[in-house]
Structures are given as C-alpha cells and as structure tokens.
Structure 1
C-alpha cells in the first residue's frame, strides 16, 4: 500500500512539474506561443489565436511572422483597422517588395468596401508578382464593384486561366458577362443563368451572401419572372434590410400588376437608401398607373433631382 501511495505521488509530481514547465515555456518562449497560436488559428479559434500571437510579440516584439499572423487573426475577427495596421507594420519591416503584405492590405481595404484604395495595393503587389491568380482575382472583384466591368473580366479571366475552376472567380466572371450582356441577347442571357445555376449547386461554392439577389436580378432581366420572384424570396430570408432587394421586389410586383405591394416595397427601398433614384423612377410608374398624378409627378421630380446629383 505504501509503495502504491509513493508511486501515485511520484506520477502526480511528474505531471505537476510538466505543467509548470509548460506554463513557464509559454510565458517565456515566444516559439511555444507561436506554435499554440497557429494551432488555434487552424482550428478557427481566432480570438484565442490573437491573444497568443500578442503574447509571442510581447516576448519578442520583432517576431515578424507572429505580427503577420496577428494581422490575419484580426482580419478573421473583422477587426479591419487593426489588421491593416499590423500588415502595414510587417510591410515596413520586410520592405516595399513584400507582395504578400501589399495584397493583404488591399484585401483588408476591400473588406471595408474601399475598393479604389484596395486596387492601389493590388497594383503594387502585381508589379512584383505579375501572374498571381489570387491578386488578379481580388483586383478583378474590386474593379467589378467599381463598375469597371471590362477590366474586371480581363483580370478574372486571367486568374481563371492560371488557377481554373475556382467558384468565386467563375461567379464574378459570370457577373461581368451579366452586366455587359445586352438585354435582347436571350441566348447569352440563358448561358449566364445556366452558369449561375451550376455555381449555386456546388457544395463548396464560396459565393457572396447576396447571391440569391444576384440570381433574382438576372432572372428578371431574362423576363423569367416566376424564378425571379422565387429567388427574391430566398434573398429576403437571408437579409431583409437590403434596399436593392426591395427595389427589385417592387419591380417584380409592377410586372405582375400588383401596384399596392409594389408601392410598399419601393417606399421601404427609399427609407433604406434615400439617395438612390431608381425606386422613385418605379414609384412614378406605380402612381401613374393608379391615377395618382400628383404623387407621380413628385416621384418623377425626385428621380430627376437624384439622377442629376449622381
């Protein structure tokens, strides 16, 4: 019995020593902190990873890899200002030819919808690494958001050539074709819809949150109103605060001659985005068809004012 007690105590003391040693190493050894932080990052425990990367940097402030991963953790936590700050600090240490930091600064700016600033960073990164598909696709998406559709398509096509069949690239390629496609080209419009449908069925498709709205808009352009209504309902379940969605739903109600719900949808669109002229243009049509000429004239005037201010 005495021997067993001694054995148990020895095992306990051994594990206590291991725990104390490990805790000491974590507190004093930045490599251990970095290892644990990367492990947490891979498990998508970004808050924990951020704390451990910060700990590694408190021990070794010049540990640039930890600073880069800290920036990445902040990005994943949507702390974009902090992420940008840390990526810029990494760039300062590594020098102006560090394309990875330039790309990530651009990506962080794009996440904040600062697309023009993002393109400046992507341009600097592409000057160093000309044929990188990730930088090209990011630049293409930024150009798409700025309505530079032809340049966006050129960059996305090149990215797809270098790294084929990436769903997000294919999705934005299709969106460029969608925007550039003449309304009367029904054959091309059908191909666009088929591509959207193919992408929506991919289990691993990394599509934007508003892809149902994009599909609905494309169906509406093709005159396929039933499918457009179906996808607009799906979009509404995802987000009920998108002014573009209410404008589209208003348009679809006009097409189906349901003017009262059309007016309600368009009024909501105006409330959510008061400076968008399109809902006023459609409201003019609604009021005119309902015989409300005074409100129709007011909507037309408001449309012209906002259109002129753009």
Structure 2
C-alpha cells in the first residue's frame, strides 16, 4: 500500500527526490533490492548530494552482494558527512565480507573514535580480529561490548566462540549459557555447547544441546551431523543413521555424513552398503583419508585384495597411519 501511494506521488510530482527515496526504503524493507536501487538512483539523480540516498543504496548493494558498489556509495556518504559513525561501521562490514580485515579494522576504529560507547563497533572489530586469528584482541573487544551492554547476547556468543577455538571450554560454556539466558532462541549457542560436551565425552549432554539447536533451527545440517556422531559413539546406530540421513537431505553434498553412514553399515557387516556410502564420500571429497581406509577394510573382508591394497595406499598417502600398518601386516608391503 505504501509503495502504491509513493508511485501515485511520483506521478504527481516526478521531481521530488524524497518520494523516490521513501519508495526505495519500502522496496528495501520487502527485500526487493533492485527496485529499491532504482528508486535511490532516481533520488540521487534529482539530488546528487542526497547523503541518506547514497547510504541506503549502499545497504541495498551490500545485501545484494554487490560489495564494490556498496563501498563506492559509502565513500560518497563519508565525503558528504565525514562524521557518520554508522557509515564507517557498515563499510567495515563490507570489507570484512571481502576478507579485507585490516581495512575493516581501520573503519571500525574510526566508528569507535566517533562514538566511544559503540557496542556494535567493538563487537564487529572483535569479529575482524577473530578472522585474523588475533584472539586476545578479539576478546578485549567482546569484553568491551559486554561492558557497554551486559545484555548484549552476541557479545557473549562471540567471546564463547573464541574461547572454544582456544580450547578454554569452561569459559566458553559459561559464555554460551549466558547468551542463552539472555536470548533463549540462540540456536548457535546450543550448537556450540553440544560440540564442547561432545569433545569432552559427555555425549548425552551434547545430544540434549543439539536437540535444542535443532528445535530452534530445524535446517541446521551441522547439528544433525554432530548429534549423529554423539549417537554413534553411544552405540545408538539407528539414531545416528537417522541424523546422518537428515544431514544429507539438507545438504546432499555432505561428504562426512556419507562417510559416517558407511562406517555404521560396515560395523553392521553390511559391506556392500558401506562401500556404496564410502564411494559417495570419496566422490564428494577425495581427501578423506579415513574413507579410503574404511573402504579398504570392507574390500579386504570381501576378499577383494587388490582394491583393498589400492585404498590402503591412497589412505596412507593422505596420512592415515593405520593404512600403512595394514599394508605391512596384511600384505607385507612397506609403504
């Protein structure tokens, strides 16, 4: 309805940049970015110094994945208004998405300089430091973001991810739990709790957290896959198969899910099925050493020794030590 009204207003007054600008915002809110950009173009054509039109067109370009165009518009906004905190922050995000983390940090620095209590700026700079693997700097920024806003759930989540990467599981668990306390719909925090509890061998607790992650985000193939791993390690193979099936349904190119399905079929003595699954895993990712090794075991049991030797050699080439041991033990081959 708003767009219809703006279109009528444009017909009545086709030289009013404000009407085009507002129509652009309406299209942007509907995620119709091309139409939004068209209207911002018209607003800028009528008023070449329309800072807000450049800024919002940059957002539409950014959300469309047109990063160079977004940066050009943001540069123009900065030229028109050098003290716009949000513009530096958005340009920093664009640079981050382009992998230009040093440029991103420069922009986040400027945004924080212009607005000292800028929670989002500290958080985003922390994410840039994370990508640069400067974890201490990242933690400092997330600490600052949390200090500025103790209810900023993303700050706890992002700091938790850093602690997880650093292997500081207790601190990570505390942060993910705090993030969930603030935002009970935080599926990612439940997911990482599941990963940590799995890594420390608490499989049932891991499953409980993956359950929550899946409940909140039923399309999370990683949560299904990792819950499947927990079920597998508990010997609950049917549950594991169901989860690997779901992971593959959501992502038909999920090589590791095919690999784990192959492992389960092999453990059940269903070697032909195992080989089919391992074939698919290898087709999707030729560098899974364990898939070649496991297929080699299946071929050996089926007495297809030449195929077994070939797979053990390939697995050994990819760094699988057990494959080298089996070549020596089963075939007296030093490899």
The alignment's TM-score, normalised by the length of structure 2, stands at 0.64
1:197 alignment counterpart: 211
Once the two structures are superposed, what CA deviation does each residue of 1:85-125 show, in whole Å capped at 9, x if it has no partner?
34432315645987644532443576xxx4x7163442231
1:156 alignment counterpart: 176
Contact 1:287/1:293 (CA < 8 Å) preserved in 2? Answer: yes
Q: How many residues align?
A: 281
Shift of 1:237: 2.5
- Structure with larger RCO (C-alpha < 8 A, sep 6+): 1
Partner Cα distance (1:273, 1:221) in 2: 23
Contact 2:164/2:172 (CA < 8 Å) preserved in 1? Answer: yes
The question of 1:227 aligning with 2:243 is answered: no
Contact 2:222/2:247 (CA < 8 Å) preserved in 1? Answer: yes
1:27 alignment counterpart: 48
Rate the CA distance shift 1:216–1:145 in 2: closer, same or farther, 3 A. farther
2:13 alignment counterpart: 15
Contact 2:225/2:257 (CA < 8 Å) preserved in 1? Answer: yes
SS across alignment from 2:252: coil
Rate the CA distance shift 1:148–1:237 in 2: closer, same or farther, 3 A. farther
Contact 2:44/2:50 (CA < 8 Å) preserved in 1? Answer: no
Rate the CA distance shift 1:38–1:295 in 2: closer, same or farther, 3 A. closer
Partner Cα distance (1:289, 1:229) in 2: 22
1:88 alignment counterpart: 106
- Which of 114, 135, 139 pairs up with 1:119? 135
Contact 1:278/1:303 (CA < 8 Å) preserved in 2? Answer: yes
SS across alignment from 2:269: coil
SS across alignment from 1:220: helix
1:141 alignment counterpart: 161
Unaligned runs of 5+ in 1: 1-10, 183-187
The alignment's TM-score, normalised by the length of structure 1, stands at 0.68
Partner Cα distance (2:101, 2:274) in 1: 43
